[in-house]
Structure formats: C-alpha cells, structure tokens
C-alpha cells in the first residue's frame, strides 16, 4: 500500500532525524533552542520554515523534530509521563481533549487576544476542536475533513450529471454504479479500518453521539440508529465491498481502473490524485460534499493545531513562532510545500485554492463540519463503533444488539470520567 510505504519512509526519516536532533542536546546548553515536535511530512516541511524564522529572529533558535504519525501518540504520552514535552507540539485535533485531560496544555486565550491572530477567521470546526470549557488550547495550523472523491465519467455513464447531496439520492446513484451492471464492481470504497466516514454520518444527525455531559453513549437514539443503519446498508445493498483495509493494495490504480466510483477521503488526496492518476483521467475526477440525510451533510472536523505544553519554559518565544507560522502568508507558503489546507480562511485567496473547484468543495465542506465528542476516550469509542458496524455488516450480530453493546461499551469506558465529574459535582 502506497501510504504505508510513505509512512514507512517517514518513520525512517523520523528515526534518523531524532538521532541527529538528540545528539546536540547534551553539549549545547546555553542557547536553549525552542523544541518543536511535528508529525509526518509536515514535520519535515517545518524545518525549512524554522530556518527562515531563525534568520529573522536570531535570538530564537528553533529545533524541529519530525515524529512518524504511527509512533507519535505513544511518544507524546511517554514524554508527558517523563516530564519531557517540547515547547510546541503540532497536535492532531482529536488528541487535544486527551492532553487537556492530562492538564498538559497551556490556555492561550490571553496571548491570542494580544496577538495579530484572528480566531474569527479560523474555520468554525477547527475553532471548536481546540476550545474546551472556554479555554483555547491550541492554534489551528491546518485543517482536514472527509468528503467524496468521485469519477465524473462513470457517474455520467450511469445517467447522472452531479453527485447526489442526500442519502436517498446517493443510494440511487450507488445502485446504478454497483453490481451486475458494472460487472460486479462496487460503487463505493469504504474499508472498515477507517472510522471517519461512519463518525461523519453520525455527526450529521440531530442527536449527539455521547450524552449527559459526554458521560455515556447515546447510540440507541433514533437519529444515531438511522446513521448506523444507513452506513450498514451501503454494504448490505452491495454498494461497498466488505473490506478491512489490508486488501486494498493500491487505491489509486483501482480508482483509475474504475473498481469504484466514489471514495470518502481527505484533502491529502487532492495532491495524490493529481500526481498518480494518468493524464487521461485528470478531467474525470471531482470532489463533492458528503451527502447528508436531508441535503449536503456535515462532516467531521479534523486537522492539526499548534499547542504549548504547560511545562514549557519559553512559552512567549514559542508563541512568537506560532504567530509566525499562522500568518496568512506563511500558511499559503505552507500549503504550497505540503498541500495542507490552511486553517485561516484569509490564507485561501492567497493560494489557487479558491479557483479550483475541487479544493473549493473542501472550503465549503470545512464550513460544514462538527468536531467529534471532545473526551479523551473518544478514539477508543470510535474504533469500537466501526468494529460494531463491521460485525453488523458481516451478520455476526444485529443492529440493535450492536448499538446496545456500544452503549454498554461507552458506559464502561467512560466510568472514570463519570466518577471524576461526580467528584467535581458536575454531572
């Protein structure tokens, strides 16, 4: 799998970089460079930007360490346990609640109000992702969300001009694009390994996924049940193959072959599709908002934010670097090197993003996002949600039994959170 290969390369790079980065620590004590941890490709791109920043601010040397995504979470928790967090972490938005629960992050409200950063220009989903109990714990750096990538030619051949915006309309299109009429191929690629599409469907309905101050699951509410039933029906009606993920060897070549017409994925694939699909197909793919129950639907708010750990000894310098990174001009440059979508909306016109209809769709979708429940246990619950969906689709259990099981799972997982909130007298 190509992304695996990329991650593997990054992991190697991460190891190599960490080796290089750690060695000078012992000897250079007096200058105390600003330590920055960032994940993946962005971590590598950040080193170059840090060089420019150092040239303008010789008093603030910056040392960037790139962590591979796959090892980042463990490394961050271990560093917290060892009191060794850096001065800035580029934290995935879903991890912000976790590090907030650890009390590891410095609230930035005061610094933000005195700075040139305008939180009002951030995408709403990103702003809500980093705000917990009124405290802003990070500055959104880049954003992502999931929506539809699709093959225009296949859709046209099936008799549709535009991708549908509602669940029912999309059903009709998928029915035309799946099964016997296309030689047994599927309309949609949606492997079980990713929980994001299912979570996005659940975020589209009126009821919240977790209820009572996020202390228990609300999976048996009618809306959530409908979202689950809809996701399950995509497999049960034969629109999507029952794949876990390891079987999808190369998404790009199978998209090019037309093995599927739709895929729910994120902005990093804008660049990948442009690079990997052959020239003849370049006019034949597009992006579309995620269909919702009653019209273009909500998707989940993702992205990465820059956070300052409480333990940092140079918070002011760290914030100076964050301010620099989040200037619209820098965000636009950053987009050009990494193709990550800027979190600051005013950076978008500085790039070609608003002229391109594919990225324009992302702009619209980003204005229709909602963060998933902001509890440290969330990722675990989301994993269990998709595991439950898989069991339903594979006929191991019924939908209602699975939802009841999810409520019980959430009840157990959130027990400690309930106990702690009771102590504080909240719940």
Partner 1 sequence: MTSVRIFMREISPGHVFVAPAMFVLSVFFLMPVLGALVMSFTDFDLYALADLKNLRFIWLGNYISLLRTPLFWKAFGNTCYFALVGAPLSILVSLAMAMLLNVPGVGLKALYRTALFAPYVATLVAAAVIWRYMLDAQYGWLNQFLIALGLQPIDWLGNPHFSMSAIILFSVWKNFGYNMLILLAALQRIPDDLYEAARVDGAGSWERFIHVTLPGVAPSLWMVALLTIAGYFQLFAEPYVMTQGGPAQSTVSLLYFMYEDGFKWWNLGHASATAFILFAVLMGLSFLRPKSEEVFL
159, burial (CB in 10 Å: exposed 0-12, middle 13-18, buried 19+) = exposed
How many whole angstroms separate alpha carbon 167 and alpha carbon 425?
41
Provide, rounded to whole angstroms, the least separation between the CB of residue 244 and partner 1: 4
Size of the site for partner 1 (CB under 8 A): 32
For the window 179-218, what string marks contact with partner 1 as x by the rule CB under 8 A?
A: -------------xx-------------------------
Which uninterrupted H or E stretch holds 370?
strand 369-370
Provide, rounded to whole angstroms, the least separation between the CB of residue 74 and partner 1: 6
Residue with tokens 């009606």: 237
Residue (46 or 76) nearer to partner 1, CB: 76
Residue 244, interface with partner 1 (CB under 8 A)? yes
Residue 162, interface with partner 1 (CB under 8 A)? no
How many whole angstroms separate alpha carbon 190 and alpha carbon 268?
17
Residue from 237, 212, 197 nearest 386 by CA: 197
* Binding span for partner 1 by CB under 8 A among 60-68, 142-150, 336-344, 390-398: 390-398
Residue (113 or 246) nearer to partner 1, CB: 246
Residue 354, interface with partner 1 (CB under 8 A)? no
Residue 420, interface with partner 1 (CB under 8 A)? yes
Which of residues 278, 355, 357, 412 is near partner 1 by CB under 8 A? Answer: 412
Residue (16 or 81) nearer to partner 1, CB: 81
* Binding span for partner 1 by CB under 8 A among 128-136, 304-312, 351-359, 411-419: 411-419
Residue 22's CB is within 10 A of a number of other CB atoms, namely 10
Two structure tokens written together for 299:
């998707």
How many whole angstroms separate alpha carbon 213 and alpha carbon 78?
29
Helix axes 222-236, 378-393, angle to 10 degrees: 50
Residue (28 or 81) nearer to partner 1, CB: 81
- Give the C-alpha distances (Å, rounded to integers) separating 156 from 165, 258, 277: 16, 13, 19
What is the separation, in whole angstroms, between the first and last Cα of the chain? 46
How many whole angstroms separate alpha carbon 161 and alpha carbon 164?
9
Provide, rounded to whole angstroms, the least separation between the CB of residue 391 and partner 1: 6
Residue (75 or 121) nearer to partner 1, CB: 75
Which uninterrupted H or E stretch holds 92?
strand 88-92
* Cβ 100 vs Cβ 377: under 8 Å: no
Which uninterrupted H or E stretch holds 300?
strand 299-300
Two structure tokens written together for 149:
């990538």
Which of residues 387, 399, 421, 427 is near partner 1 by CB under 8 A? Answer: 387
**DSSP string across 183-218:** TTB-SEE--TT--HHHHHHHHTSSS-SEETTTTEE-
Provide, rounded to whole angstroms, the least separation between the CB of residue 22 and partner 1: 22
Cite the DSSP H helix spans in 339-398: 357-366, 378-393
254, burial (CB in 10 Å: exposed 0-12, middle 13-18, buried 19+) = middle
Provide, rounded to whole angstroms, the least separation between the CB of residue 400 and partner 1: 16
Provide, rounded to whole angstroms, the least separation between the CB of residue 165 and partner 1: 32
Residue (246 or 367) nearer to partner 1, CB: 246
Residue 223's CB is within 10 A of a number of other CB atoms, namely 16
For the window 103-122, what string marks contact with partner 1 as x by the rule CB under 8 A?
A: xx------------------
* Binding span for partner 1 by CB under 8 A among 134-142, 153-161, 340-348, 413-421: 413-421
* Binding span for partner 1 by CB under 8 A among 61-69, 114-122, 243-251, 281-289: 243-251
| Cross-sheet strand order for the sheet of 34-39 | 62-67, 34-39, 88-92, 302-307, 139-144, 341-342
Residue (282 or 398) nearer to partner 1, CB: 398
Provide, rounded to whole angstroms, the least separation between the CB of residue 146 and partner 1: 20
By CB under 8 A, what part of segment 367-386 binds partner 1?
Answer: 376-377, 380
By CB under 8 A, what part of segment 59-98 binds partner 1?
Answer: 73-74, 77, 80-81, 98
Residue (275 or 416) nearer to partner 1, CB: 416
Provide, rounded to whole angstroms, the least separation between the CB of residue 308 and partner 1: 17
Contact positions vs partner 1 (CB under 8 A):
73-74, 77, 80-81, 98, 101-104, 192-193, 242-247, 249, 376-377, 380, 387, 390-391, 394, 396, 405, 412, 416-417, 420
């Amino acid at each position: 799998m190509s992304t695996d290969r990329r991650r593997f390369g990054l992991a190697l790079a991460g190891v190599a970089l960490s080796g290089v980065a750690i060695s000078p620590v012992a000897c250079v004590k007096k200058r105390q460079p600003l330590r920055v941890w960032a994940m993946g490709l962005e971590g590598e791109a950040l080193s170059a930007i840090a060089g420019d920043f150092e040239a303008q601010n010789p008093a603030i040397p910056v040392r960037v360490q790139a962590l591979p995504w796959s090892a980042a979470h463990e490394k961050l928790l271990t560093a917290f346990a060892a009191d060794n967090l850096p001065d800035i972490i580029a934290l995935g938005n879903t991890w912000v609640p976790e590090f907030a629960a650890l009390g590891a992050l410095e609230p930035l409200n005061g610094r933000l109000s005195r700075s040139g950063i305008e939180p009002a220009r951030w995408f709403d989903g990103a702003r809500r992702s980093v705000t917990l109990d009124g405290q802003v714990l990070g500055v959104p750096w880049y954003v992502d969300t999931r929506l539809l990538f699709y093959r225009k030619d296949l859709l046209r051949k099936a008799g549709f001009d535009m991708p549908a915006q509602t669940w029912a309309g999309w059903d009709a299109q998928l029915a035309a694009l799946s099964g016997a009429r296309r030689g047994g191929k599927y309309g949609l690629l949606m492997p079980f390994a990713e929980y994001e599409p299912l979570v996005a469907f659940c975020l589209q309905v009126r009821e919240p996924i977790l209820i009572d101050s996020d202390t228990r699951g609300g999976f048996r509410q009618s809306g959530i049940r409908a979202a689950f039933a809809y996701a399950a029906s995509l497999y049960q009606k034969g629109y999507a193959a029952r794949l876990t993920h390891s079987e999808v060897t190369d998404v790009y070549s199978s998209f090019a072959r037309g093995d599927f017409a739709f895929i729910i994925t994120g902005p990093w694939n804008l660049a990948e599709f442009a690079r990997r699909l052959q020239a003849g197909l370049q006019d034949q793919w597009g992006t579309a908002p995620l269909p919702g129950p009653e019209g273009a639907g909500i998707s989940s708010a993702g992205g990465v934010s820059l956070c300052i750990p409480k333990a940092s000894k140079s918070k002011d310098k760290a914030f100076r670097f964050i301010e620099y990174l989040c200037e619209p001009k820098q965000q636009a440059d950053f987009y050009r090197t990494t193709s990550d979508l800027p979190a600051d909306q005013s950076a978008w016109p500085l790039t070609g993003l608003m002229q391109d209809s594919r990225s324009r769709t992302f702009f619209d979708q980003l204005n229709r996002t909602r963060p998933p429940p902001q509890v440290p246990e969330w990722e675990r619950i989301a994993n269990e949600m998709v595991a439950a969906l898989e069991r339903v689709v594979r006929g191991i259990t019924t939908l209602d039994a699975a939802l009841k099981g999810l409520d019980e799972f959430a009840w157990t997982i959130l027990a400690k959170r309930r106990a702690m909130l009771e102590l504080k007298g909240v719940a």
